[in-house]
Amino acid sequence: MTKDQKSGSMSRRQFHRLAGMTVAGAAVSPTVARMAAAATPNPSDIIAGVNPTMIIHNAKLGVMETPLTLLRDHDITPKELMFIRNHFPPAGKQAWMATTDAPMVKEWNIRIGGLAVRPRTITLKDLEGMEQVKRVSVMQCAGNGRSFYAAKAKAPGGQWKHGGLANVEWEGVPLKAVLDKANVGPSVEARFLTANGADESPAAKGADLIKSYHLEDTALDHAILAIKLNGEPIPAVHGGPVRLIIPGYYGNMNVKFLNELSYENMQSPTPFQSKAYRMVNKPVEPGKFTTRDYDLGNSHPTYGFKIMSVIFAPLAEDKVKAGPVEIRGVAWNDGTAPITSVKVSKDGGKSWEQATLKLSDSPWAWHHWSLKTNLSAGTHTLRVIATDSLGRTQPIDGTALWNPKGYEWNGVDLVKVTVS
Query: Which residues lie near other proteins (CB under 8 A)?
Result: 9-10, 13-14, 16-21, 23-24, 27-29, 32, 39, 56-61, 87-88, 91-92, 94-95, 147-151, 153-159, 161, 201-207, 271, 275-276, 286-287, 290-293, 315-317, 398-399, 404, 411, 413-416
- Return the one option of ligand HEC, other proteins, none that residue 147 interacts with (CB less than 5 to 8 A, by type): other proteins
Nearest-CB residue for ligand HEC: 157
- Return the one option of other proteins, ligand HEC, none that residue 275 interacts with (CB less than 5 to 8 A, by type): other proteins
Shortest separation between residue 387's beta carbon and other proteins, angstroms: 21
Q: 256-259: long-range contacts at Cβ-Cβ below 8 A with a sequence spacing of 24 or more?
A: 256/86, 256/197, 256/199, 257/90, 257/197, 257/198, 257/199, 258/110, 258/195, 258/196, 258/197, 258/225, 259/108, 259/109, 259/110, 259/111, 259/196, 259/197, 259/198
Shortest separation between residue 93's beta carbon and ligand HEC, angstroms: 14
d(CA 396, CA 417): 19
- Return the one option of other proteins, ligand HEC, none that residue 414 interacts with (CB less than 5 to 8 A, by type): other proteins
* C-beta of 236 vs 331, nearer to ligand HEC: 236
* C-beta of 113 vs 395, nearer to other proteins: 395
* C-beta of 86 vs 100, nearer to ligand HEC: 86
Shortest separation between residue 251's beta carbon and other proteins, angstroms: 17
What is the distance of C-alpha 46 from the center of its chain? 19
Beta bridge partners of 84: 64
- Return the one option of other proteins, ligand HEC, none that residue 133 interacts with (CB less than 5 to 8 A, by type): none
Check residue 356 and give left, alpha or beta (phi > 0: left; psi -120 to 50: alpha). Answer: beta
Shortest separation between residue 319's beta carbon and other proteins, angstroms: 12
- Return the one option of other proteins, ligand HEC, none that residue 91 interacts with (CB less than 5 to 8 A, by type): other proteins
Spatial contact of 371 and 356, defined as CB atoms under 8 Å apart: yes
Shortest separation between residue 173's beta carbon and other proteins, angstroms: 31
- Return the one option of ligand HEC, other proteins, none that residue 123 interacts with (CB less than 5 to 8 A, by type): none
d(CA 138, CA 211): 19
* C-beta of 275 vs 392, nearer to ligand HEC: 275
* C-beta of 63 vs 102, nearer to other proteins: 63
Shortest separation between residue 236's beta carbon and other proteins, angstroms: 14
Shortest separation between residue 239's beta carbon and other proteins, angstroms: 18
Shortest separation between residue 420's beta carbon and other proteins, angstroms: 14
Kindly give the pairing relationship between strand 323-332 and strand 308-313.
antiparallel
- Return the one option of other proteins, ligand HEC, none that residue 56 interacts with (CB less than 5 to 8 A, by type): other proteins
d(CA 242, CA 110): 9
Shortest separation between residue 225's beta carbon and ligand HEC, angstroms: 24
Q: What share of the chain is helix, strand, coil (3-state, %, to 5)?
A: 20, 35, 50
d(CA 85, CA 63): 5
Number of Cα atoms under 13 Å in the Cβ half of residue 104:
1
- Return the one option of ligand HEC, other proteins, none that residue 150 interacts with (CB less than 5 to 8 A, by type): other proteins
* C-beta of 71 vs 415, nearer to other proteins: 415
d(CA 219, CA 153): 33
- Return the one option of ligand HEC, other proteins, none that residue 7 interacts with (CB less than 5 to 8 A, by type): none
Shortest separation between residue 201's beta carbon and ligand HEC, angstroms: 5
d(CA 327, CA 372): 6
* C-beta of 304 vs 398, nearer to other proteins: 398
H-helix segments, 129-257: 175-182
Spatial contact of 420 and 320, defined as CB atoms under 8 Å apart: yes
* C-beta of 212 vs 309, nearer to ligand HEC: 212
Spatial contact of 209 and 197, defined as CB atoms under 8 Å apart: yes
Residues 6+ apart with CB under 8 A from 295: 274
* C-beta of 157 vs 395, nearer to ligand HEC: 157
Residues that bind ligand HEC (CB under 6 A): 87, 156-157, 201, 203, 206, 276-277, 405
- Return the one option of ligand HEC, other proteins, none that residue 292 interacts with (CB less than 5 to 8 A, by type): other proteins
d(CA 410, CA 148): 10
